[in-house]
């Protein structure tokens, strides 16, 4: 049985200026360098704001820590003020990009179809797409969690997904700010369902 690589991603969101971003990246690099031999099968990933990508890339060089973007536009270039293309992320040294994060889906009204286009763009640029899925508290209470996540998987992931170009990240959106906690059992059950659906192409 193949050993599954564990991706441990740190999404900095809209946080970090050059001074504190540099300090954090250096501290994480030092800690990972010291612990790397004790964590086989673990792949750390840092996703800082776009303004810090080049600086963090240089700090991470040779450490084994991957670099990722927090979002991207599906097009390779064009008149899209404020957006970043997948090719730009790849050129900045990224190997991954987070797509469909709950803050994008709910805060920016991003649809499954839009996430799907971004995934296609990410693959075109040679990036691994980290696609986020997850249900809200209302959806969970309505016992539609698996149905909601299944629809997100179907709508957000194009044909051609492989273990080399896709990571599906489960976000228990219902546990954010609700005072509720997602247990290991909750997460394991959803992970199992997600794996079966991705493997089946549904």
pLDDT in tens, the chain (202 residues): 456 889 999 999 999 999 999 999 999 999 999 999 999 999 999 999 999 999 999 999 999 999 999 999 999 999 999 999 999 999 999 999 999 999 999 999 999 999 999 999 999 999 999 999 999 999 999 999 999 999 999 999 999 999 999 999 999 999 988 899 999 999 999 999 999 989 877 5
- Does residue 183 sit in the same domain as residue 145? yes
Does 190 lie in the same domain as 108?
yes
Quick one: 5 exposed, middle or buried, by C-beta within 10 A (0-12, 13-18, 19+)? exposed
The torsion region of residue 61 among left (phi > 0), alpha (psi -120 to 50) and beta comes to beta
- Sequence-distant (≥ 6) Cβ neighbours of residue 105 within 8 angstroms: 111, 115, 132
Instruction: Name 46's bridge partners.
Output: 10, 67
Residues 197 and 100 occupy one common structural domain: yes
Residues of the domain holding 163: 95-202
Six-digit token pair at 185? Answer: 């059992």
Nearest to 77 by CA among 92, 69, 87, 89: 87
Question: Of 9, 35, 70, which marks where a domain is finished?
Answer: 70
What's the gap between Cα 73 and its chain centre? Answer: 15
Domain assignment of residue 12, yes or no: yes
Distance of alpha carbon 148 from alpha carbon 106, whole angstroms: 14
- H/E element holding 114? helix 112-124
> Of 27, 53, 70, which residue constitutes the final position of a domain?
70
| 101 and 41, same domain (yes or no) | no
pTM over 0.85: yes
CB 4 within 8 A of CB 42: no
Are 104 and 6 in the same domain?
A: no
CA 153: distance to chain centroid?
Answer: 14
Does the CA dihedral 169-11-159-149 come out positive or negative? positive
pLDDT at 1: 46
Backbone angles phi, psi at 79, to 5 degrees: -85, 70
State yes or no: is 171 an active-site residue. Answer: yes
Give dist(CA 123, CA 77) in Å, integer.
15
Choose the final residue of a domain: 53, 70, 87.
70
CA distance 72 to 58: 21
101 is catalytic: yes
- Compute the distance between CA of residue 95 and CA of residue 130 in angstroms, rounded to an integer: 10
Residue whose token pair is 């954010």: 176
Query: Per the structure, how many domains does the chain have?
Result: 2
In a domain, 87, yes or no: no
> Active site residue: 87, 96, 101, 114, which one?
101
Query: From the candidates 87, 110, 135, 171, which is the catalytic residue?
Result: 171
- Same domain, yes or no: 104 and 202: yes
């Amino acid at each position: 049985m193949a050993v599954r690589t564990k991706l441990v991603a740190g999404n900095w969101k809209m946080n970090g200026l050059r001074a504190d971003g540099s300090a954090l990246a250096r501290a994480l690099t030092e800690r990972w360098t010291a612990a790397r031999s004790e964590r086989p099968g673990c792949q750390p990933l840092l996703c800082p704001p776009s303004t810090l990508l080049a600086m963090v890339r240089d700090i991470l060089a040779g450490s084994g820590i991957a670099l990722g973007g927090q979002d991207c536009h599906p097009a390779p270039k064009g008149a899209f003020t404020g957006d970043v293309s997948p090719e730009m992320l790849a050129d900045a040294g990224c190997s991954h990009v987070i797509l469909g994060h709950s803050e994008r889906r709910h805060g920016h009204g991003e649809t499954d179809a839009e996430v799907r286009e971004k995934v296609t763009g990410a693959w075109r640029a040679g990036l691994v797409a980290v696609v986020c899925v997850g249900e809200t508290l209302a959806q969970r209470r309505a016992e539609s969690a698996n149905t909601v996540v299944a629809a997100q998987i179907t709508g957000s992931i194009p044909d051609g997904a492989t273990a080399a170009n896709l990571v599906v990240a489960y976000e228990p959106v219902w546990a954010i700010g609700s005072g509720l906690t997602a247990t290991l059992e909750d997460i394991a059950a959803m992970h199992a369902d997600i794996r079966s659906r991705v493997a089946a192409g549904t």
